[in-house]
Structure 1
């Protein structure tokens, strides 16, 4: 016969508190409006480099900038601005130039690019899946699968 009082002790009082995302990753240093202004500045700078035909500098400056991360809904407009600028940049590079461009990036820039590629792939309504998959393929060839693992395990989401 089963005892109906086997769980009369509250075991939750001996458990540690639940670990929150905010405990693991510090919050982004700007609020939504400031992040949007910074994103617009980065976008203008990148588009200026693109107008000069300097895609390597444009990509490097975009990926080296402190980009908004975290789940805060106030950061979404800044993230959308950066993503649209990145898509313009990726579409402007010829497929024969992608490998040389990716080789010029450092490890952190490659990881950041992979984060943004995944962010774009998660948005099929943008219609950039083919371009992003092409960049993903080339980036994986150059950076290896370690790049994918680092992006998947990093808690700072763009």
Structure 2
């Protein structure tokens, strides 16, 4: 009985404890709407890649990404679409593509790269592809991009 006090969750009694959903604005779109929009983006990305517009395709997939709870299918669809772009890009083209992105799009790309690194063996995603993109993105966006991604609670 001496160690019983260690099993008490004291955070239940603390009024200042924040819940995960209180740390950022919730996604105003419903899960069905997010999934529908993500599938439309995937179609637009495929057509942009067919035309050879890699930076346009990347911009499409990085704008207004799905985040928050209850949208896992949309997140997976978005990640699959992004992986198809990352794998189809030549390493010599990456710096110019990254430079053409806005700061928000660069931050979202960094979030996706970290998500891909956390999911080994996911689809046809190669670690060398992710690290190559990470290197080029860090050269262009700087370390501030990494700090912004690590402190943002909205996960993709």
State the match for 1:4 in structure 2: none
Instruction: Report the CA distance between 1:62 and its aligned residue.
Output: 1.6
* Alignment RMSD (CA, Å): 1.9
Alpha-carbon separation, structure 2, partners of 1:132 and 1:84: 14
State the match for 1:50 in structure 2: 49
Out of 139, 142, 152, the position equivalent to 2:140 is: 142
Instruction: Report the CA distance between 1:122 and its aligned residue.
Output: 0.9
Out of 127, 130, 133, the position equivalent to 2:128 is: 130
Alpha-carbon separation, structure 1, partners of 2:14 and 2:26: 26
Deviations 1:61-112, CA, capped at 9 Å, x for gaps: 2212x11112x1x311100000000000011111100001111111111001
TM-score (norm 1): 0.85
| Unaligned segments of structure 2, at least 5 residues | 1-9
Alpha-carbon separation, structure 2, partners of 1:56 and 1:42: 14
| Unaligned segments of structure 1, at least 5 residues | 1-10
Instruction: Report the CA distance between 1:15 and its aligned residue.
Output: 4.7
Alpha-carbon separation, structure 1, partners of 2:99 and 2:22: 35
State the match for 1:109 in structure 2: 105
For the 8 Å contact 1:87–1:128, the answer to whether it is kept is no
Matches within 5 A, 1:6-155: 15-64=14-63, 66-70=64-68, 72=69, 74-126=70-122, 127-155=125-153
Instruction: Report the CA distance between 1:35 and its aligned residue.
Output: 1.5
Q: Quick check: which has more Rg, 1 or 2?
A: 1
TM-score (norm 2): 0.86
